[in-house]
Amino acid sequence: MQKNLPKIYCFVDEYNLSDLSKLSKDINIIYRNYDNIDHIDNILKLRKFCKSSKNKFYLSNNIKLSIQLGLDGIYIPSFNKKINYIGTYSLPKYFKIIGSAHNFNEIMIKKKQRCNEVFLSPVFKVNKSNKFLNISKFNLMVLGFGVDCIALGGINQKNYKMIKLLRSKGFASISWAKKNGLRNLGRFRI
């Protein structure tokens, strides 16, 4: 029996064709840019790129725009704790809701927000925080929640093989991809 390949997500904050074109089509792209208020141009370029390259494309924290543009879904960050965030929107069949969490309470909020997958972070040590889950805590948090969990935070070339020890359906990258170039991400298969 063939083991399913892990899901890989890559966070981007701008449209950069030279980096994006090196991605394989099975890497999902999440656009999040909380600094740039007028980012519709980036979103439209990314949508066009993702349609032609067959990458899945998710927009962070804007359900209305995600549906209007026919994107693959939405990413709800951990700071968005609105239980009725999805509200009465009529979601297309293919539309996927993913979110991020750092603890049990946030996982419960993401379940109430109807997330199909939850990114748990940080799994490994990161520069901006002394707190990280580690393998044991990650696996304990995943038990019994009924949602697929994705590893996020501190994943790099030295520790990516440790993802095999996690009860994770995949992993996501932010700074690793930026530092080493998105082209390297696709070759790191578990």
pLDDT higher than threshold 90 for residue 7: no
Distances (CA, A) of 145 to 41, 97, 107: 37, 16, 8
**Model pLDDT, residue 133:** 75
Whether 152 is covered by a domain: the verdict is yes
- Split into its structural domains, the chain has a count of 1
In this prediction, residues 123-134 reach a mean pLDDT of 72
Alpha carbon distance 76, 58 (integer Å): 10
Whether 31 is covered by a domain: the verdict is yes
**Model pLDDT, residue 153:** 78
Q: Is the peptide bond before 122 cis (omega within 30 degrees of 0)?
A: yes
Whether 2 is covered by a domain: the verdict is no
Closest CA to 55 of 13, 33, 32, 23: 23
Whether 1 is covered by a domain: the verdict is no
Range(s) of the domain holding residue 78: 7-187
In this prediction, residues 116-126 reach a mean pLDDT of 82
**Model pLDDT, residue 49:** 95
128: domain CATH number?
3.20.20.70
Read off the pLDDT of residues 141-174 as tens digits, 9 standing for 90 and up: 778 777 888 888 777 777 777 778 878 888 887 7
